Amino acid sequence: MSAPPSQGFPPVSGPGPRVLVLGTLPGAESLRRQEYYGLPRNRFWWIMGQLVGATPELPYPARIARLAEAGVALWDVCHSAHRPGSLDAAIDRASIRPNDIQGFAATHPTLRMVACNGATAATLYRRFVTLDLPMLRLPSTSPAHAGMAAEAKLALWRAALHPVLASPP
């Protein structure tokens, strides 16, 4: 591999997260913008807008603040990996350096659940992470996962996150 590996972002979280949403690794547009889920066609911010008011129209820092207020933390399973382009299928599995998700959980004892954004995030989570927390694989918000309508994705995300986010911290 001649190109350096893609590097992920640090976690974003408020002081008492109840849900940790894990992606795989930021795509090219997210890296360019230095924002989680920076591709405008990705439905993540639309879903978070429906669930906790972190709408895509808000400036990025305001979206992150809304997530933190609602008890949602964001991170990725991969700290770094070689990936030409933005598709999860292109990640060179042998090059993956995982994030210290166990360490994050240890310093955030309010966590009640891990929600993996898509099948690849869930697969990598199972490979690299050992936590005594429920983990749910949710449908990917990526435009590459076009086989499911946005409203159906929203319904599944709502059903998974609402019980945890609606309960007191």
Q: Answer whether 64's CB lies under 8 Å from 53's CB.
A: no
CATH code, 39: 3.40.470.10
The reply to whether 5 falls in a domain is: no
Q: pLDDT tens digits, residue range 33-89?
A: 999 999 999 999 999 999 999 999 999 999 999 999 999 999 999 999 988 877 788
Catalytic residues: 42
* 139: helix, strand or coil: coil
Residue 8 tokens read as: 């992920």
| 56 part of a folded domain | yes
In a domain, 3, yes or no: no
What is the mean pLDDT of the segment spanning 146-169? 90
Q: Report the alpha-carbon distance of residue 20 to residue 73 in Å, rounded.
A: 5
Mean pLDDT across 143-160: 89
**Residue 37 one-letter amino acid:** Y
Residue 39 lies in a domain: yes
Q: Which domain holds residue 82?
A: 15-166
Contact 129, 102 (CB under 8 A): yes
